[in-house]
Amino acid sequence: MESIDNRVKIPDAAADAFSRGRQVGLATAALGLSIVSFISLLGLEKAILAATLGIAAWRIRPSSSQGKKRSLLAIAVAVIYALIFIVAFALFHDKFADLIHMMQQLS
């Protein structure tokens, strides 16, 4: 028997189910967040958080195949977005400065 929070003893099968459910939940959150980072402007911080959640979900043992697939997909989407952002920023850094200046004037 294992203990999830050192207070309640649960059978190994239940602890495994809890871990797999936690992994799938984290992986789903990471995947959703990585997709949302594509929608908003300057969403690099969301892509970094999505990759972090994806890595956390991927490292949970025991793992489920659904959780592994979702977490790897979330990491891939977040990395692709980060690469696109870095390339776009490198190519158009002067335009980004103008955009930020215009956005400050609107507020």
Residue type, 25: G
Domain positions in the chain: 2-106
What's the whole-number mean pLDDT along residues 28-36?
Answer: 83
Q: Per the confidence metrics, is the pTM higher than 0.85?
A: no
Q: Are 47 and 82 in contact (CB under 8 A)?
A: yes
Please tell me the predicted confidence (pLDDT) of residue 57: 86
Q: Cα(48)–Cα(46) distance, rounded to whole angstroms?
A: 5
**What would the pLDDT profile of 44-88 be if each residue is shown by its tens digit?**
888 888 888 889 888 888 778 888 888 899 899 989 989 998 998
Q: Which pLDDT band, with edges at 50, 70 and 90, does 91 fall under?
A: very high
CA distance 7 to 63: 23
